[in-house]
Chain A
Amino acid sequence: MTSFLHLILFLVCIIGSTVYSVDRGNFKTCEQSNFCKRCRSMDKNQKTAFELVPDSVILTDKYFEALIKNTNFDDVSLRMRLDGLKDSTLRLRINKDGNQMYNRFQPVHALVSEPVTESMIMARNASTVELELSKIIKVYITIAPFKLDVYVNEELTVGVNHDNLMQFEHYRPKPESIADNEIGSWEEYFKEHQDSKPRGPSAVSMDFKLYSSTSLYGLPEHAESLALKSTSGNDPYRFYNLDVFEYELYNGMGLYGAVPFLMGHGKKNSVGVFWLNAAETWVDIAGVKGHAEHTSVVESLVNLVSGSSTDKDIPRAHFMSECGIIDFFIMLGPKPLDVTRQYSSLTGTTPLPPLFSLAYHQCRWNYNDQKDVHDVETNFDVHDIPMDVMWLDIEYTDSKKYFTWDPVKFSEPLEMVNNLTSRGRKLVTIIDPHIKRDSNYFLHNDALNNDLYVKNKDGDVYEGWCWPGSSSYLDFMNPKVQEYYASRYSIDNFVGPTEDIFIWNDMNEPSVFNGPEVTMPKDCIHHGGYEHRDIHNIYGLLQVMSTYDGLLKRSNGKKRPFILTRSHFAGTQRFAAVWTGDNMADWSHLKISLPMCLSLAISGISFCGADVGGFFNNPDKELLIRWYQTGAFLPFFRGHAHIDTKRREPWLFDEQTTFLIRDAIRMRYTLLPLWYSMFKNHELTGAPVIRPLFFEFPYEEQLNNIDNEFMIGDVLLVCPVLDQNVQELTCYFPGQEEIWYDRDTYQPIKTNGLMKIPAPINKVPVYQRGGTIVPTKQRVRRSSVLMKDDPYTLVVAIDLKAIAKGSLYIDDEESFEYRNGHFIYIEYEYINNQLISKCLHCENFNTKSWVEKVMIIGIPNVFTKASIQVNGGSLSELTVLYNTHNQVLTVRKPAVGIAQNWTISLL
């Protein structure tokens, strides 16, 4: 039996490394997914079958409700409910009225809480119902054909069903004889897999026109540019969480995650559309500049010719889902940061991560044993490279049985963890959702005895094939499973008395090696009688919810969990960080990591990164260096590698490589106070931690397609080197009244537009925005915990008016005590040659940190000394040093506690 298993694994491996990119034939096209084919073939020029029933209209102080009839089926009517939500947001839900044959699934798990409604005012005439929300927003509902016009400040902003593509297929009994063109609605084959579809057709769809936008963004996860492309002539963007082996770039194939959030952006305003549906979903995009791959010349010509038609130029999206209800939100901005705030008030923000998780992570499939882990850790110290977290991939388990340890290679897990924690470090171990079918495995036995597994269409426990061989899959839809799974993480059940092991949930699409499209058959049955097709895209979210719960309970709710997940959905940001999955050691994959993480960031998931170095294949040292230099500026920063690759720890190349990688990682550590403050700000406001340039400069249209640069908060502009053999690169500097200061040389750049930048191998082009103050820690130690009490250096970069502002957030870096007010929040302002520190929230947290240095960039050489006044006390003098080469004035050692109120005056 085992040798058979080995043979299979071996075959998998063979396939693994001889094929160099994705086998598209393993994944469906829209044409092969029957509901997509049905929805996509709807005719825009055909009047919609749906009409509002005028007599049914009701407006309460909470919502508007009405019936919609389907003119093709007299006996079927739908019920729509429109909610006006606070903060310029609308929600529309359409479900069948009355009973239906099967419950339609609603993935409310994505929502952080029940959205708060606001009252609306209604007016109506024979053909239209008019609803007004918070004075500036008006919704006109046309009765027949059913459609919505959303106006903001009297301007048409969003149109719903303007292209007549609304669909709602009601459940119906299976007919005795099925017409040829309907066979696919009742049964579908893909390769050797049958989808039995016992419930028949149940698709829903809707089209949206974003009248005020010029570009569309979001809809992660796809290996695609930041700006979405027209899908005409190609497949739509697909949402179906899949383990895509060696994925290709720049296309709309479904990847590991699905966040059906779309952002439209134009000079005047920005809007968002959130399509809340967990089933397989496809989205057609049109009316935007730029075209998806493989567009024929003829097609481009057609677009060019018909370009004069204004209707064609309106960005639009057509969402099509296999089942569920029509449930969507429209967020009306008006600015990008307003849209992300509105979206995150629905799906939540990332709770402030423990600081270590923002530091550097070291991973490999696999570190062979506990000695290997120790040796690698030791080498980080030998080469004086900071590192916070060691990771263990699947091989640490006893025969891929999660929550167990290999009895020989990892015989002393607790000792291993304690070795790490003695240097302030942590351990992350992988826990996948598939469970080995092994009668000697407690988890499998528990699952069988307590009925915790997903069932197949015949009601038996579903069996698939994954890392351990024959496996079954926990049904996280079941509250019993959620509770059981969470308790696996408790100290008694896992490793022993440590809270320093954190969790990596992988393969949670779920990945099933022998399943259709490498996942679970859609006719499998979950708790509550739902089919897998109903819930597929939230399977991974459900797993991380349980894991989060488990980690929380492990510390009695005291310590912040850290989880990394591959599969994700809207709302995943509340529980876990996300990485871009199994990428490749290739320059193109370094490049795509920016738009992939930016798309996730504007869709609520800021805590994102890509495997530094690339997962498959071996990076050369140049690629590895550039990847570290880039990865150090993405929120999640982890080196990772496939088991078949050569070791690539930073010291295994040459001295220069070690040195440059060390520099990149150290740069990350000096900026940890900024990252931490940004994440705190994200938790409060939903503002993405990393952002596309247009977020900060929404009026500058040239920025709309830039995705090889990004900003960290509103402070740093990162223009990383993403190509081989680069000595010079071109960066775009946004904003007309801006100054950008090079973070290495402090040289100012006042250009608005493109500029050439010298970028030899040791250069990481990063710029601080004039007008900002960045708190840093310059004493980089072995791990972030060891820097907790260290002093701060404030880097003040002045703008054209010689003003700058900044802030700093400090707490215990690991617990939830900050929610009880135990934190420090400080605002800094530099104005009139004075730097003022106002500690706005300082009472309930003590820190030993102090201010060791203040650097003021971009000021003339006119000051000879400085004075400091602490808490309104007496003045004391400070030494200043002016560097005429870079116009940086350094105030020497203010030596004041960071949580004090003080003013430094330049004299």
Chain B
Amino acid sequence: MNVMENFNLFITVFCGIFTLINCTSIVKPRGIAFERASLYVPDKDFSCFDGSYIIPFSFVNDDYCDCPDASDEPGTSACPNGTFHCTNAGHTSLVIPSSRVNDGICDCCDGSDEWANMLRKGTCENTCEELGRAAREEAERVQKIFVAGHEIRAQLIAKGKELRLEKQNRITELFEIQRSAELTKNNTLYAKETAEEIEKSALEKYKIMNDEKKRQENEKEKLKDQNEAFEIFNQIDTNKNNKIEEEEVEAYATFDQNNDGTVSQDEKDYFMENKKEITLEDFVLNGWIRLKQLMLVENMDVKDTELPVDVDNDRQVEETEDQDENEDDSDHVEDDVKYTESEDFDESQYDEETKLIIEEAKQARNAFEEADRKFRDLQREVTHLQESLNKDFGPEDEFAALDGECYELSDREYVYKLCLFDQITQRSKNGGSEVRLGTWNSWIGEPKYRTMLYDRGQHCWNGPQRSTHVRLSCGLEPALLSATEPNRCEYAMDFVVPAVCVQHSERPSAPVTDAEHDEL
């Protein structure tokens, strides 16, 4: 066994130094690219690249780390921060950390990183030809998509430019229309105000009549209340001595405010205002009012306990609020509401003339509303167009044609819907309302125009607002490929679209590994 051990060591040391390449006399140290082979001259002492040490050339690749910069051990795992270069003939060459040399795992397709193990067992087969072919085929496929995609992209750019022009023209046009609409609005406003003025004075006399009626009704109400008070007083005053005493209060359950079954001294004192007895007069003036409050409080208590428990309700409220923020036509309704106070007026009492005046005022109001609505509609359209023009549809407007287009992806649990430059939603297949995963914000990250940020989505329970990163890559048909939630409430989507099929030195971003993306 000892002999064997030494033999292995010997092999390790011997093989570590050189690899013979083909049948020529050129010798390069293991783990070095051809271009750099000249830095290693066998018949001279070796100088570490960082100049720290000069060592005999026999120390190069002898499986012992002499140079702090690892330059003496390109072919072994001896240096902690070194690298190993594999040629991978037939495929692309690769540089791996030295720690992957001879660790039993085939990292290079030519197997050169496992040279010690290869010699013993032939662990790693050379798969470069096969992999290289597959890689070339894949590159070709991607390239094809790329070329085709690039053409579509050109069309998108043209379309984008066209759209921009259209929008600009439309805005100019709208400005014209808007001017005349504003004029109409102002005219109808004047007509409306005049008609309402007339209407107001016509209704004045009816208002006076009505006020008198109300006063009488109040009077009646008061009398009724007093009668009620007498009645209650008599009810509580069981011994009929025209006074309410403590013992009588005790028997009356309404005074048991905390519902513990007894009317405590505190509860009595509250009602009796610390007095021993209450006269009828006192009761009508004060006691009755407190008693009514007690009855009211009792009712309200019941309501209170019901309200805040239902968390789902709260959530919905919150969601509606969220949505409101994003609707721009929520502001103009209220001032149009109160135009007739006549609800409690009996219209039949109006004479014919008054009726006519009211009708005219109504028509004037309608005319104004109509004009106002038209004006606002125009205004809104202009704002939308301007916003749209301000959106960043890429350096060449290549995304403009996709504005507002929606794409869906369905997985086991959810249907995701991405509406470009607008918003992203998620709908559970088990029902329930849509959840907004984000609203368009901006392009982020490098390279530019490859990742979209949609944020300010619905709040997570007790968490942040939802947000989504959409990663774009080149494809012929726009399609949503994947949707994941790597962090709670932070979503990530992959979306292919021809708009990013750019032919720069930059490689097309087709099948990127998620490894890189998770770090966003």
Interface residues of A (CB under 8 A from B): 7, 10-11, 13-14, 16-18, 368, 371-372, 375-376, 378-379, 382, 384, 408, 422-424, 643-647, 651-652, 778-782, 786-787, 790, 846, 848, 850, 852-853, 871, 892-893, 895, 897, 899-900
Contacts and interface: CB of A to CB of B under 8 A. Distances in A.
A16 B311 CA distance: 16
A379 B412 contact: no
A853 B78 CA distance: 11
B64 A378 contact: no
Give the contact-size bracket for chain B. Answer: 35 or more
Contact of B64 (A11, A786, A853, A897): A853
A779 B515 contact: no
A423 to B, nearest CB: 7
Contacts of A7: 311-312
A14 B462 contact: yes
Interface in B478-520: 484-488, 490, 513-515, 518-519
A259 to B, nearest CB: 36
A850 B7 CA distance: 13
Contacts of B518: 375-376, 379, 647, 652
B43 to A, nearest CB: 21
Interface string B309-352: 00110000000000000000000000000000000000000000
A784 B367 CA distance: 84
Contact of B515 (A379, A384, A871): A379
Interface in B1-15: 1-2, 5-6, 8-9, 13
Given A14-B461, A643-B488, A779-B78, A895 B13 contact: yes
B105 interface: yes
Contacts of B80: 778-780
A852 B2 contact: no
Interface centre among B80, B100, B488, B515 (most CB of A within 10 A): B515
Given A17-B462, A779-B99, A852-B64, A423 B515 contact: no
Contacts of A379: 515, 518-519
Given A780-B99, A848-B8, A871-B2, A786 B462 contact: no
15 contacts: A13-B461, A14-B462, A18-B462, A368-B484, A378-B513, A379-B518, A644-B488, A645-B488, A779-B78, A781-B103, A782-B103, A790-B77, A850-B9, A852-B63, A852-B78
A645 B13 CA distance: 50
A368 B486 contact: yes
B42 interface: no
B404 interface: no
A897 B311 contact: no
Nearest to A408: B412
Given A408-B412, A780-B80, A384 B99 contact: yes
B328 to A, nearest CB: 33
A782 B487 CA distance: 26
Contact of A13 (B104, B105, B462, B513): B462
Interface string B70-97: 0000000110100000000000000001
A124 B2 CA distance: 66
A785 B8 CA distance: 20
B9 A378 contact: no
B463 interface: yes
Given A11-B311, A647-B518, A892 B486 contact: no
B31 to A, nearest CB: 15
Interface centre among B312, B485, B488 (most CB of A within 10 A): B488
Contact of A782 (B8, B99, B312): B99
A358 B515 CA distance: 27
B218 to A, nearest CB: 50
A424 B104 CA distance: 9
A422 B487 CA distance: 28
Contacts of B64: 852-853, 892-893, 895
B486 A779 contact: no
A493 to B, nearest CB: 26
Contact of B100 (A382, A782, A790): A782
A786 B103 contact: yes
B97 A384 contact: yes
B105 A786 contact: yes
Contacts of A846: 1
A892 B55 CA distance: 12
Contacts, number: 92
Contact of B519 (A372, A652, A850): A652
Nearest to A369: B484
Nearest to B97: A384
Contact of B487 (A13, A647, A892): A647
Given A17-B462, A375-B515, A779-B78, A368 B485 contact: yes
A846 B2 CA distance: 10
Contacts of B9: 850, 895, 897
Nearest to B62: A893
Contacts of B463: 17, 644
Nearest to A853: B64
Interface string B425-450: 00000000000000000000000000
B53 to A, nearest CB: 9
Contact of A382 (B412, B486, B515): B515
A852 B484 CA distance: 48
A371 B514 contact: yes
Given A13-B462, A782-B100, 10 more contacts: A10-B461, A11-B311, A14-B311, A375-B515, A384-B97, A643-B488, A647-B487, A652-B518, A781-B100, A786-B103
B393 to A, nearest CB: 31
Contacts of A16: 462
A391 to B, nearest CB: 17
Contacts of A787: 103
Contacts of A778: 80
Interface in B96-121: 97, 99-100, 103-105
A894 B140 CA distance: 53
Contacts of A375: 513-515, 518
B208 to A, nearest CB: 58
Contacts of A384: 97, 99
A665 to B, nearest CB: 13
A739 to B, nearest CB: 26
Nearest to A846: B1
B6 to A, nearest CB: 7
Interface string B185-221: 0000000000000000000000000000000000000
B311 A779 contact: no
Nearest to A670: B80
A547 B312 CA distance: 41
Q: Nearest 5 CB-CB pairs, A to B?
A: A786-B103, A893-B64, A897-B5, A781-B99, A378-B515
A778 B73 CA distance: 14
Contacts of A382: 515
A900 B2 contact: yes
B102 to A, nearest CB: 9
B190 to A, nearest CB: 57
A762 to B, nearest CB: 16
Contacts of B100: 781-782
Given A13-B461, A408-B412, A897 B515 contact: no
A651 B519 contact: yes
Contact of B77 (A422, A646, A652, A779): A779
A852 B63 CA distance: 9
Nearest to B460: A644
Contacts of A647: 486-487, 518
A169 B485 CA distance: 58
Nearest to B13: A895
Nearest to B1: A846
Contacts of B78: 779, 852
Given A375-B514, A895-B13, A897-B2, A422 B461 contact: no
Contacts of B5: 848, 897, 899-900
Nearest to A407: B412
A424 B105 CA distance: 9
A10 B97 CA distance: 46
